[in-house]
Amino acid sequence: LALVYLRLGRFDDAEGHGRRAVEKAPENAEYRTTLAGICASVKKYDDAKVHYTKVLELDPNNNKVPLLLAILEAESGKSEDAV
């Protein structure tokens, strides 16, 4: 449901549903990736980084999250960390 709200531009609802999903299943990397993307969309970069970092702990072979973290760092004005 969080992704539906995100696509509709209902960011508060998307974030709320994403956070509830993570609360119910904190070890679910997919839920955390979705929530991180939502947080990044609303410029909550620190929250997004926390969730992306946790995804890497849960799924060290995830090859998408390092790129998403680099993009996040660039968007948040920390481009020197993005390399």
Question: Which pLDDT does position 5 carry in this prediction?
Answer: 95
Question: Does residue 50 contact residue 23 with C-beta atoms inside 8 Å?
Answer: no
The band of 43, judged by pLDDT with boundaries at 50, 70 and 90, is: very high
* Mean pLDDT of the 1-24 span: 95
The region that residue 59 occupies, defined by phi over 0 for left and psi between -120 and 50 for alpha, beta otherwise, is: beta
Question: Which pLDDT does position 77 carry in this prediction?
Answer: 84
Question: Which pLDDT does position 41 carry in this prediction?
Answer: 93
Question: Which pLDDT does position 80 carry in this prediction?
Answer: 57
18-30 pLDDT, tens digit each: 999 999 999 999 9
Residue 4 has pLDDT above 80, yes or no: yes
Closest CA to 18 of 67, 30, 8: 30
